[in-house]
Chains A and B, each alone.
Chain A
Amino acid sequence: MRVNVNAQRCIGAGQCVLIAPEVFDQSDDGTAMVLVDTLDDSAQTVVREAVRACPSRSVSLAES
């Protein structure tokens, strides 16, 4: 699986960083960034939590 962040939609709330700091980071202006290219199975659960919590619906998962 691949994880994507829509930087245009992102409002910098940082929920994804709090939930999955090994997958997401925030730039100095607050925009979320993805740190990994593909996700193993164990990371998918926590990333799904980040998808569900994102207040701007900017995080998504897709088949790689």
Chain B
Amino acid sequence: MPTSDPISIEFPTRRRGQISPPDAYAELRARPGLVKSALPNGSTVWLVTRHEDVRTVLTDPRISASPTHPGFPTIGRNGTVPHPDQIPGWFVAYDPPDHTRFRKALIPEFTVRRVGELRPAVQRIVDGCIDAMLAGGTTADLVASFALPVPSLVICELLGVPRTDRELFESRTQILVTFTSTDDERDAAAQDLLLYINKLIAMKQRFPGRDLTSRLLRAGVLTPKEISGVALLLLIAGHETTANNIALGVVMLLLNRQWINAPGVVEEVLRYLSVADRVALRVAVEDVEIGGQLIRAGEGIVPLGAAANHDDATFGHADQFDPSRSARHHVAFGYGVHQCLGQNLVRIEMDTVFGSLFRRIPTLELDQAVEDLPFKYDGVLFGLHALPVRW
């Protein structure tokens, strides 16, 4: 059983001035058992770093995704997402069988074929953003003018959210995913978003459109209240994560220009960056052994996606950015029943972005040294606050 005494490390561990995951992860993976870590709020959790162990954690039925269980980890002040009690339909926080009903109602909207039908709309949005950037001069902040608007506009199109409301949901989401936000800021942001989404649902009930929200309302499998939670979750999850992958992915490709247009770029960017490193928080609801370590019921677990995706035992020379590798089994979107619902849409967005940006702006280059870029060290997700570029 436990093969070593637990040690404590500082967590969240920061990626200091670099895009790849924290160097400390390699050392954590090499330790027998799991590593115990103290969170900023004083509670302790088990960090899981090996690919196989992370997958086991994310599929073991004795381990729960529900913050209603005692011992569920909260990173930051007040947790990282709205509490499910506040928002019915926030189904990432449900376990089967409750979760299953939501997943089944939603998955037909996200099959490979269905999201493939969105490709022309994605292309149109990407081209529009590039047109605007080119019209604006020879420099830009690629986050504000491209990486953020592209996924935001795509999720607007999918959910039937007016484009003009982008500022509202982008700014409030930013507050929710920043560790340093105060409880008051967080509560106010969540309230604003809830109010907004409830108004949207009321509008869709009266004036249905050809969007996902209207189809869910018409299907009647989920209640309007639940659909509010679902729409809010998709809205939040749909833009911030993808924006970070786009911005950092562009940096990766500018640093490794030989891989521009190579097949396999999207999967390798997803694996290498693993921007949602510490998103899938869990708690044991029964005693369970993971990676040779006994975890007691009620103990919190943090499976680290970036650590798993840089496990040399699974991905040879994992620290190398190599789109020619087979990286499909990465856990950048999580694993198990909670694996990202929108992953195939994200792939289409990234593929369209990387395919179009360097073709239309072949002279694109960074306008700031990589080590000086404003990385999101204070966020639930790794990313960039801004990305100065020129052409």
Contacts and interface: CB of A to CB of B under 8 A. Distances in A.
Interface of A: 11-15, 17-19, 21, 26, 28-30, 49, 52-53, 55-57
A28 B108 CA distance: 6
Q: Is the interface of A mostly helix, strand, loop or mixed?
A: loop
B10 to A, nearest CB: 31
Contacts of B339: 11, 13, 55
A7 B335 CA distance: 18
A22 to B, nearest CB: 13
B328 A52 contact: yes
A33 to B, nearest CB: 11
Q: Select the residue from B59, B108, B112, B339 with max chain A CB neighbours within 10 A.
A: B112
A49 B321 CA distance: 20
A43 to B, nearest CB: 15
11 contacts: A11-B103, A11-B339, A12-B107, A12-B108, A14-B344, A17-B112, A28-B108, A29-B107, A30-B104, A49-B329, A57-B59
B329 A53 contact: yes
Given A18-B112, A57-B59, A30 B107 contact: yes
B102 to A, nearest CB: 12
B328 A53 contact: yes
Given A11-B103, A18-B344, A56-B336, A30 B328 contact: no
B337 interface: yes
Contacts of A30: 104, 107-108, 110-111
B206 interface: no
A12 to B, nearest CB: 4
Closest 10 CB pairs of A and B: A30-B107, A12-B107, A55-B339, A14-B112, A53-B328, A52-B329, A17-B112, A26-B111, A53-B329, A55-B335
Nearest to A28: B108
B103 to A, nearest CB: 6
B59 A29 contact: no
Q: Is the interface of B mostly helix, strand, loop or mixed?
A: helix
Contacts of A52: 328-329
B194 to A, nearest CB: 28
B337 A12 contact: no
Contact of B343 (A13, A17, A21, A26): A13
B326 interface: yes
Interface residues of B, number: 20
Contacts of B328: 15, 19, 49, 52-53
Contacts of A56: 59, 336-337
A17 B347 CA distance: 14
A11 B107 contact: yes
Contact of A11 (B108, B112, B326, B337): B337
A55 B336 contact: yes
B113 interface: yes
A6 to B, nearest CB: 14
B98 to A, nearest CB: 15
A44 to B, nearest CB: 14
Nearest to A13: B339
A57 B343 CA distance: 17
Q: Select the residue from B110, B328, B336, B339 with max chain A CB neighbours within 10 A.
A: B328
A14 B59 CA distance: 18
Interface in B321-376: 326, 328-329, 334-337, 339, 343-344, 347
A18 B59 CA distance: 22
B130 to A, nearest CB: 26
Given A30-B108, A49-B329, 15 more contacts: A12-B110, A14-B110, A14-B111, A15-B328, A17-B111, A18-B112, A18-B347, A21-B112, A26-B113, A29-B104, A30-B110, A53-B328, A55-B335, A55-B337, A55-B339
Contact of A49 (B108, B326, B347): B326
Nearest to A15: B328
B109 to A, nearest CB: 9
Contacts of B335: 55
Nearest to A10: B107
Nearest to A48: B326
B114 to A, nearest CB: 9
A61 to B, nearest CB: 15
